[in-house]
Amino acid sequence: MEILGVRVETPSNQPLVLLRESDGGRLVPIWVGAIEASAIAFAHQGTETVRPLTHELMAAIISELDAELAQVNIVRVEDGVFFAELHFSSGVVVDARPSDAIALALRSRVDVWCAESVLDEAGFEPVPEEEDEVAQFREFLDHIEPGDFA
């Protein structure tokens, strides 16, 4: 999956992370909390922080323990709630919220995968107007600051 970025959905003012299928084009919106949205936006934009944020701390711990995050999988949706897993090269799998998993994947530079069942349930093919909206979203991302989510 390609992480397009974070946006704030109106009128609910609820942030979401927007993923796009790498080889198909379906979009998957995942609503996240404001703190997680900021963490994802910081990582997506490559913003440096003075002190490590939680996901930077997690990545440092993984590295210092000589572990390696291999990939992040969005594995299912139940009643509108998304579930993710962190897959380590050792074979260990850890349950995670998708927002935390995506923030960690960005910092660890690993791929985010999405189960076909999730794409079937939550994904949608953009129509030409939505593709324009995605282009506008990319433009929006070029000018947004992580502090805008506070």
Q: What's the whole-model pTM score? A: 0.81
Q: Provide the residue range defining the domain that includes 103.
A: 2-149
Closest CA to 2 of 79, 105, 84: 105
Residue 25 DSSP SS3: coil
Residue by residue, DSSP assigns 78-100 as ETTEEEEEEEETTS-EEEE-HHH
pLDDT digits (tens, 9 = 90+) for 100-113: 999 999 999 999 99
In the prediction, which pLDDT does 50 show? 87
Number of domains the chain is built from: 1
CATH of the domain at 119: 3.10.690.10
Instruction: Give me the sheet containing 14-20, strands edge to edge.
Output: 2-9, 14-20, 27-31
pLDDT digits (tens, 9 = 90+) for 11-42: 888 999 999 998 878 999 999 999 899 999 98
